[in-house]
């Protein structure tokens, strides 16, 4: 179970809940982010449309997103609304929650493997990454791609960095980015098609020699698109620019008019 950062939610907050009991007058749900804290969903807040039965909009065991409309901090009571949650609110919250759970699970695994306290894991890692990146999974994805400095800069203690990278690498594939360039190639020579083909072949060969995969295709002669994929934009742009520079020289040697028309990602 996820450790809550605070005992009670704030009014206006969107939270993930599990429907527990449904009655004629309303329903009780538990708030997943707050240690399964019980909250009340009044009948009038279940739907903006007229309904005969709450079972028309919710069922027991269902995961829903609700909006907090009342908090009694003295009694620890919380009321929530379902009808005040738009489809966009629901989608964003559920996406965030799934990513939060996935990231937190990786960190919990490290704590268990190393024999470290779960509360320490949340205090020193989960919540610090949440503060810096919105949720911990984004930070772990960045760390797998760019290295442990991502975690250190977020305030994660040094002892966590190496085991976190090792564990995260088992569950997260490094992100790939792709960029494209449009190159114009023209030749008035009798064997112009062969010359243009030679330029494009050399372009692909140069990109491959620099360690990246590429794809070259026509956008309608004389325009050709070259696309490369890398772990980050800086690498992709550097390799593609070098390859294009060499290809322009080759084109000149072959008597092919060549020009890079655009740069877009």
Q: Cα(60)–Cα(52) distance, rounded to whole angstroms?
A: 17
Query: Within 13 A of 109's CA, how many CA atoms are on the CB side?
Result: 15
Domain boundaries, the chain: 14-84, 89-171, 177-264
- The pLDDT value given to residue 232: 80
CATH of domain 14-84: 2.40.50.140
What percent of the chain lies above the pLDDT cut of 70? 98
Q: In CATH, what is the architecture of 177-264?
A: 2-Layer Sandwich (3.30)
pLDDT digits (tens, 9 = 90+) for 96-149: 999 999 999 999 999 999 999 999 999 999 999 999 999 999 999 989 988 999
Quote the tokens at residue 48.
């903006």
CATH 1.10.150.190 corresponds to the domain 89-171: yes
pLDDT of 202-253, one tens digit each?
999 999 999 898 999 888 888 999 999 887 888 899 999 999 999 999 999 9
Nearest in space to 78 (alpha carbons), one of 123, 42, 109: 42
pLDDT at 231: 78
In tens, the pLDDT along 161-174 reads 999 999 999 999 87
- CA 83/CA 46 separation, integer angstroms: 5
Dump pLDDT digits (tens) for 22-47. 998 999 999 999 999 999 999 999 99
| pLDDT score, position 262 | 58
Q: Looking at residues 171-192, what average pLDDT do you find?
A: 88
As a whole number, the mean pLDDT across the chain is 93
Residue 118 buriedness (CB in 10 A; 0-12 / 13-18 / 19+): middle
183: nearest Cα among 104, 143, 241, 111: 241
């Amino acid at each position: 179970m996820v450790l809550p950062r605070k005992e009670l939610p704030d009014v206006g907050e969107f939270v993930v809940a599990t429907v527990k009991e449904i009655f004629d007058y309303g329903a009780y749900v538990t708030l997943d982010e707050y240690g399964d804290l019980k909250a009340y969903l009044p009948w009038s807040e279940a739907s903006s449309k007229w309904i005969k039965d709450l079972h028309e909009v919710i069922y027991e065991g269902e995961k829903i997103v609700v909006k907090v409309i009342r908090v009694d901090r003295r009694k620890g009571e919380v009321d929530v609304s379902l009808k005040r949650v738009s489809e966009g609110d629901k989608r964003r919250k559920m996406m965030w929650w799934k990513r939060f759970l996935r990231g937190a699970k990786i960190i919990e695994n490290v704590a268990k493997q190393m024999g470290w306290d779960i509360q320490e894991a949340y205090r020193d890692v989960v919540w610090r990454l949440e503060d810096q990146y919105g949720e911990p999974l984004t930070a772990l994805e960045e760390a797998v791609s760019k290295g442990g400095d991502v975690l250190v800069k977020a305030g994660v203690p040094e002892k966590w960095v190496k085991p976190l990278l090792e564990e995260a690498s088992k569950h997260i594939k490094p992100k790939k980015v792709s960029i494209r360039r449009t190159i114009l190639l023209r030749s008035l020579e009798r064997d112009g098609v062969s010359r243009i083909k030679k330029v494009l072949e050399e372009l692909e060969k140069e990109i491959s020699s620099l360690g990246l995969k590429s794809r070259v295709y026509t956008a309608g002669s004389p325009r050709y698109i070259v696309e490369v994929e890398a772990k980050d934009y800086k690498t992709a742009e550097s390799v593609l620019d070098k390859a294009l520079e060499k290809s322009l020289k080759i084109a000149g040697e072959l008597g092919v008019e060549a020009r890079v028309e655009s740069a877009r990602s």
